[in-house]
Amino acid sequence: MKRREWLRRTSSAAALTLGGGVTAMTQEKPGKKTTTAATLQTEVMRLKLRHTWTTVMSSSDYRENLFVRLRCGDVTGRGEGAPIVRYHENADSARRALESVSQLVAATDPWHFEKLMSEVFRRISGEYAAKAALDISLMDMAGRRLGVPLYRYFGLDPDDTPVTTYSIGIDTPEMTRQKVREAEQFPVLKIKVGLQSDEETIASVRSVTKKPLRVDANEGWKDKEEAVRKINWLETQGVEFVEQPMPASMLEETRWVRSKVHLPIIADEACLHPTDIPRLVNSYDGVNIKLMKCGGMLEAFRMIQIARSLGMKTMLGCMIESSIGVTAAAHLSPLVDYADLDGNLLIANDPFSGVRVEKGKLILPDGPGLGVMRAADAHVGGE
Ligand code: MG
């Protein structure tokens, strides 16, 4: 059987099941190797937040994320996508995006993940959280088949993980103080600002702790003079850097602001993909890279290398995610200067366990692939 014919038959017989049960299907490949078609299962799960999560952009009590199980033979890779409205994505659109490449996934050897993800990027416009879910499941599967944790696959030392910040969403002064107290074990906090009440928020935090702070305005300051005023004031409040002070589109204004302040300015909403980075060099000191913005671990790895080669600071962030998404990012964290990988800690019903935090430092799991387990299994295992 010629390769083209084999691909056609494999594709037409694809056993990929979305939203339903998983059906494994074995397919003989010509030549010496026997390969098994990968089957993919998706599920939308509601993650409940411990506290109502409020930023300049939105306020919510729960998030709906897309969970993926990719099975090939007796190995299953898990992935997660956390779509957000800022990027015009939601769990249903993410699920539909993966359905559209179901035949492709079933027909491609999962070892060829680089080629598969390139083709997925070519076929799907947008929907980066969906792409991230597939990418993470492929990487988890590769690590499991190799029997190594993903940090080892990428050649990284798990002792090099940075401290993660713990994020304090916008809230009343009383709740802000309570949240800061709850975050006692974290040596550095990330405070959401971007409103008229910024001074009051910082005063509430400072009434409870002297810890270093990092501040995220989420594009909240629309006026460049106001941004300079706020940043220079924040410098007197023990703040280490400011994330996305002005709207992503205001590149020139941000460049002007940067020339008037001493604190480093980090791009988040302005930095989604590898191609965004070069034009940010003069307006920002660093970039906040997220798997859900760029489409997975492979793309995030590329972004870290590009930013570093341009002399920029690097940070890994996350959305509201379970331990699957956060652990995937954490495996790359030995490469970056800063981490804000607390999305799993902000939810009350994390279905999984993976990366842990000890006094703020990220502790990577040693199991193969992501090293994540169902939370119930982890409990039974005594962790
Ligand atoms: Mg941010």
Helix (H, G, I), strand (E, B) or coil at 372: coil
Q: Is the pLDDT of residue 296 over 60?
A: yes
Considering the domain architecture, whether residues 133 and 221 belong to the same structural domain is answered as no
Question: How far, in Å, from the CA of 216 to the mean position of ligand 1?
Answer: 6
Classify residue 277: in a domain, yes or no. yes
- Which residue bears the tokens 């550095």? 188
Considering the domain architecture, whether residues 196 and 296 belong to the same structural domain is answered as yes
Question: How far, in Å, from the CA of 218 to the mean position of ligand 1?
Answer: 6
Whole-number Å distance between alpha carbons of 344 and 101: 28
Of 147, 178, 205, which marks where a domain is finished?
147
Question: How far, in Å, from the CA of 244 to the mean position of ligand 1?
Answer: 7
Classify residue 303: in a domain, yes or no. yes
Question: How far, in Å, from the CA of 83 to the mean position of ligand 1?
Answer: 15
Question: How far, in Å, from the CA of 305 to the mean position of ligand 1?
Answer: 20
Q: What is the mean pLDDT of residues 257-280?
A: 98
How many domains in the chain?
Answer: 2
Question: How far, in Å, from the CA of 110 to the mean position of ligand 1?
Answer: 33
Considering the domain architecture, whether residues 135 and 199 belong to the same structural domain is answered as no
Question: How far, in Å, from the CA of 267 to the mean position of ligand 1?
Answer: 8
Considering the domain architecture, whether residues 226 and 362 belong to the same structural domain is answered as yes
Considering the domain architecture, whether residues 84 and 119 belong to the same structural domain is answered as yes
Q: Exposure of 178 by Cβ count < 10 A (0-12 exposed, 13-18 middle, 19+ buried)? A: middle
Classify residue 3: in a domain, yes or no. no
Question: How far, in Å, from the CA of 118 to the mean position of ligand 1?
Answer: 27
Count of Cβ atoms closer than 10 Å to residue 149 Cβ: 22
Classify residue 10: in a domain, yes or no. no
Classify residue 20: in a domain, yes or no. no
Of 101, 127, 147, which marks where a domain is finished?
147
Of 110, 132, 147, which marks where a domain is finished?
147
Q: What is the mean pLDDT of residues 280-307?
A: 98
Whole-number Å distance between alpha carbons of 231 and 204: 18
Question: How far, in Å, from the CA of 139 to the mean position of ligand 1?
Answer: 25
Question: How far, in Å, from the CA of 242 to the mean position of ligand 1?
Answer: 9
pLDDT of res. 55? 77
Whole-number mean pLDDT of the chain?
A: 90
Mind listing the pLDDT tens digit for each residue in 74-114? 999 999 999 999 899 999 999 999 999 999 999 999 999 99
Considering the domain architecture, whether residues 222 and 271 belong to the same structural domain is answered as yes
The enclosing H or E element of 135 equals helix 128-146
The enclosing H or E element of 57 equals none
Considering the domain architecture, whether residues 138 and 161 belong to the same structural domain is answered as no
Helix (H, G, I), strand (E, B) or coil at 19: coil
The percentage of the chain sitting over the pLDDT mark of 90, rounded to a whole number, equals 83
Considering the domain architecture, whether residues 254 and 124 belong to the same structural domain is answered as no
**Domain, as residue range, for 139:** 39-147
Beta carbons within 8 Å of 33's beta carbon, 6+ residues apart: none
Considering the domain architecture, whether residues 91 and 214 belong to the same structural domain is answered as no
Question: How far, in Å, from the CA of 166 to the mean position of ligand 1?
Answer: 12
Whole-number Å distance between alpha carbons of 298 and 113: 9
Q: What is the mean pLDDT of residues 141-162?
A: 98
Whole-number Å distance between alpha carbons of 374 and 379: 9
- Pick 194 or 354 by higher pLDDT: 354
Is pTM, for the whole model, over 0.85?
Answer: yes
Whole-number Å distance between alpha carbons of 166 and 143: 28
| CATH code, domain carrying 110 | 3.30.390.10
Classify residue 45: in a domain, yes or no. yes
Question: How far, in Å, from the CA of 154 to the mean position of ligand 1?
Answer: 26
| CATH code, domain carrying 307 | 3.20.20.120
Question: In the beta sheet, which residues pair with residue 28?
Answer: 34
Considering the domain architecture, whether residues 43 and 183 belong to the same structural domain is answered as no
Question: How far, in Å, from the CA of 170 to the mean position of ligand 1?
Answer: 13
Q: What is the residue type of 43?
A: E
Question: How far, in Å, from the CA of 122 to the mean position of ligand 1?
Answer: 27
Question: How far, in Å, from the CA of 190 to the mean position of ligand 1?
Answer: 9
Count of Cβ atoms closer than 10 Å to residue 354 Cβ: 26
Q: Is the pLDDT of residue 138 over 80?
A: yes
Mind listing the pLDDT tens digit for each residue in 188-233? 999 999 988 999 999 999 999 999 999 999 999 999 999 999 999 9
Classify residue 270: in a domain, yes or no. yes
Whole-number Å distance between alpha carbons of 224 and 241: 17
Considering the domain architecture, whether residues 236 and 106 belong to the same structural domain is answered as no
Question: How far, in Å, from the CA of 208 to the mean position of ligand 1?
Answer: 23
Considering the domain architecture, whether residues 253 and 321 belong to the same structural domain is answered as yes
User: How is residue 294 written in tokens?
Assistant: 């760029």
| CA distances (Å), origin 248, targets 221, 232, 255, 295, 311 | 11, 20, 12, 19, 20
The band of 58, judged by pLDDT with boundaries at 50, 70 and 90, is confident
pLDDT of res. 60? 87
3-state helix, strand and coil shares in percent for the chain, rounded to the nearest 5: 40, 25, 35
Question: How far, in Å, from the CA of 148 to the mean position of ligand 1?
Answer: 31
